[in-house]
Amino acid sequence: MARRSLWLHPAAKPALFLICLLPLAYLVWAAVNNQLGANPAEALIRRLGDWSLRALCLTLAITPLRQQFNLPALARFRRMLGLFTFFYASLHLLSYAWLDMGLEPVDIAKDIAKRPFILMGFSAWALLLPLAATSFNRAIKSLGAKRWQMLHKAVYAIAVIAMLHFIWMRAGKQNFGEPAIYGTVLALLLGWRIQKAWRRAPALAGRI
């Protein structure tokens, strides 16, 4: 009971909000104090991308954790984590557009068309945009629960595209250690959902 009340505590959501801002606070501090290494622009872009992927993994983990450990209160954090995924992905894209491309729209468009991993990253962000824009109660009422749920299932495609972006980005340096870790985590999270859907299928067929 104490475990459940912890997630329902009024301070839980503000605490999570502050925790989610800590990576950004650290990166700002590190940039101001020249602690991002020899290539601070590249370090900032990549670390923002890392935190986008981590937030996405946490968002996808909410439902399995909620169901496996009987913690329905965890659902109240999913929207916030999803919005932080978009927030860090937007900062990742903005830092690339600004620090790498000088905010030149033509150069950015050419770079997206020329490099597949940039195209994958931009595609993932573009798919996140409508999810973030419809993450509010008014949007759910406007779309209707069924259409809203169908739209937000795009998060699974986003996870796959984001992983392709990450893998292709690291392929140039033959560094696949971190992509393997994130890929395993996302495979487990998506595999859990596929298994649940597979188990539900016979029950749904029996009702027809």
Dihedral angle sign, alpha carbons of residues 20, 90, 185, 147: positive
Angle between helix axes 105-114 and 116-133 (nearest 10 degrees) is 110
Which pLDDT band holds residue 198 (cuts at 50, 70, 90)? confident
Tokens 């991993």 belong to which residue? 117
Which pLDDT band holds residue 176 (cuts at 50, 70, 90)? confident
Nearest C-alpha neighbor of 101 from the set 83, 89, 88, 114: 114
Which pLDDT band holds residue 19 (cuts at 50, 70, 90)? very high
How confident is the model over 27-57, as pLDDT tens digits?
A: 999 999 999 999 999 999 999 999 999 999 9
Which pLDDT band holds residue 5 (cuts at 50, 70, 90)? low
Q: Which two tokens stand for residue 89?
A: 């992905």
Q: CB burial class (10 A; 0-12, 13-18, 19+) of residue 193? A: middle
Please, how many CA atoms are within 13 Å of residue 47, restricted to the half-sphere of its CB?
18
pLDDT for residue 1 is more than 80: no
